[in-house]
Amino acid sequence: MTPSNSTIPSVAIVGMGGYANHHRNALRRAVDGGRAVHAAQVALPSDLEAFADELREMHEAGIAIYDSLRELLAAERSKLDLVTVPTGIPLHRVMTTAILEAGCNVLVEKPAAGCIQDVDAMIRARDAARRHAFVGFQHIYRAAAHELKAELLSGRFGTVERVRGFSCWPRPATYYERNGWAGELAAGDTWVLDGPHNNANAHSVNFLCFLAGSTASASALPVSIRAELYRAKPIRTADTVSMRVQTAEGVEVCFVASHSTEENVNPRFAVDTEYAVLEIGDDAAVTAAWRDERPDEELTSAAQVLEASSVEGAIARVGGDASAPVCELDVARAQTLCASGSFESSPIHELPAMLQVEGPGGAVAIDGMSAAVQAAFAEGKNFGDLGLDWATAGAEIDLVGYDYFPTFRSQRIGNDAPPR
């Protein structure tokens, strides 16, 4: 239900292909519900043929169509309440800052950007423009995520000690062939740092950092990280990662994921507290397993968890609903800090070719990787902590005051091998 003091936002979307389709579907729901107006659309010249029918329908509906963000902002900036940016990582900083400088609110897809200095530049642009800059981390747009955070902050489960997550998401060669930056560390002069924890599973890392935060609306502040990066695919970046992050709040963040597993297992999470372990399934249901003799307690069932759209959440917020859950850049920054630190902590190690097997859809996989990922998750450890033959421990990297990737200076805490 739209609040009585709300407005109906005018919205533009940048791009037609890839994830932009999800943004258009979400905006269409908002338009059909009388909660937004699809005012304008950017369609690159390369999109004109592939999306000819849809663009014709937009034109007939009175939606202004432009072939670049530059032209959109020049013509429409004073009329737009929100511009969404479902584009690739290399464009996040430049497009987000351009939209903010034009005086518009923006929703950029996750991750916020490829490296920490890009996110910080986006935050500065947001603050100068006095506008909103949202990030499409879907978990944070769910009311259930905020209800869980409130439970953790209530003290009912005692001190939060550690948050954990994992994902086994095998990806075939086509996943890395879909654009020019997938599987890359950089695109030209722009850092991408593609990898499970900074792309497909970036939302998982962001969710864990949010749960570890000490206030209702904040993520935890990472202060150090020890990570391990590996690859089985013929790519320049990592397809497998484990990391342990220490935070200023005293909550450890542990995450492990691989695109080279032999089976698909959707992301799952756990929160280790003083009195219980909260288990969060791939359906987002939450169960508390008490450490004493009490029976398990279902906090949130799958039926209670409603799907949430970052586009619709952003529309609600700019439309005047101050209670609408959103993910601001400040919340998303912790994930980017972890990703940047991980690439300082570890070189990208080649996984043994002798362990390669065929995974789902013909994807290159590593024999035993699914079990290794889930074992690391269960124990809250890195691969190297498990004593695996192929695992190599990373250096511990100090993240206090860390604001530029790569530092090109030693940040070792201890006597580990220096960062790459």
Whether the pLDDT of residue 410 is over 80: the answer is: no
- Regarding whether 244 and 271 lie in a shared domain, the answer is yes
Q: How many Å from the N-terminal Cα to the C-terminal Cα in the chain?
A: 52
- Regarding whether 370 and 228 lie in a shared domain, the answer is yes
Whether the pLDDT of residue 409 is over 70: the answer is: no
Check residue 1 and give its pLDDT.
37
Range(s) of the domain holding residue 246? 142-306+329-398
Question: Are 219 and 206 in contact, with CB atoms under 8 Å apart?
Answer: yes
- Regarding whether 359 and 253 lie in a shared domain, the answer is yes
| DSSP β-bridge partners for residue 221 | none
Check residue 3 and give its pLDDT.
45
Check residue 282 and give its pLDDT.
84
CATH of the domain at 261: 3.30.360.10
Check residue 29 and give its pLDDT.
96
- Regarding whether 21 and 43 lie in a shared domain, the answer is yes
From 104, 139, 174, give the residue that closes a domain. 139
Residue 317 in any domain: the answer is no
- Split into its structural domains, the chain has a count of 2
Check residue 5 and give its pLDDT.
53
Residue 321 in any domain: the answer is no
Count of CB atoms situated within 10 Å of the CB of 57: 11
- Regarding whether 376 and 270 lie in a shared domain, the answer is yes
What is the mean pLDDT of the segment spanning 269-275? 98
What is the mean pLDDT of the segment spanning 359-371? 96
Check residue 308 and give its pLDDT.
80
C-alpha span between 335 and 341 (Å, rounded): 10
pLDDT level of residue 419 (50, 70, 90 thresholds) = very low
Question: Are 104 and 80 in contact, with CB atoms under 8 Å apart?
Answer: yes
pLDDT in tens, 381-408: 999 999 999 999 999 999 999 999 998 6
Check residue 6 and give its pLDDT.
64
What is the mean pLDDT of the segment spanning 313-330? 96
What is the mean pLDDT of the segment spanning 49-55? 94
**Mean pLDDT over all residues of the chain?**
94
Percent of the chain with pLDDT over 70: 95
pLDDT in tens, 96-114: 999 999 999 999 999 999 9
Check residue 416 and give its pLDDT.
43
Check residue 305 and give its pLDDT.
75
CA 389 to each of CA 274, 352, 371: distance values in angstroms, whole numbers, following the listed order: 33, 10, 14
From 139, 154, 186, give the residue that closes a domain. 139
What is the mean pLDDT of the segment spanning 72-100? 97
- Regarding whether 64 and 208 lie in a shared domain, the answer is no
pLDDT in tens, 3-26: 445 689 999 999 998 889 999 999
CATH of the domain at 27: 3.40.50.720
Residue 268 in any domain: the answer is yes
Q: Is 256 left (phi over 0), alpha (psi -120 to 50) or beta?
A: beta
DSSP 8-state secondary structure symbol assigned to residue 245: E
- Regarding whether 390 and 257 lie in a shared domain, the answer is yes
- Regarding whether 202 and 119 lie in a shared domain, the answer is no
From 122, 139, 156, give the residue that closes a domain. 139
Residue 418 in any domain: the answer is no
DSSP codes joined into one string, 83-134? EEE---GGGHHHHHHHHHHTT-EEEEPSSS-SSHHHHHHHHHHHHHHT--EE
C-alpha span between 167 and 373 (Å, rounded): 8
C-alpha span between 280 and 148 (Å, rounded): 10
Residue 228 in any domain: the answer is yes
- Regarding whether 291 and 199 lie in a shared domain, the answer is yes
C-alpha span between 350 and 360 (Å, rounded): 21
Residue 413 in any domain: the answer is no
What is the mean pLDDT of the segment spanning 327-349? 97
Residue 412 in any domain: the answer is no
pLDDT in tens, 169-211: 999 999 999 999 999 999 999 999 999 999 999 999 999 999 9
Residue 48: CB partners within 8 Å, gap ≥ 6? Answer: 55
Whether the pLDDT of residue 415 is over 70: the answer is: no
- Regarding whether 123 and 205 lie in a shared domain, the answer is no
Check residue 302 and give its pLDDT.
75
Whether the pLDDT of residue 414 is over 70: the answer is: no
- Regarding whether 174 and 76 lie in a shared domain, the answer is no
What is the mean pLDDT of the segment spanning 352-378? 97
- Regarding whether 292 and 148 lie in a shared domain, the answer is yes
Whether the pLDDT of residue 164 is over 90: the answer is: yes
Whether the pLDDT of residue 228 is over 90: the answer is: yes
Residue 420 in any domain: the answer is no
pLDDT level of residue 293 (50, 70, 90 thresholds) = confident
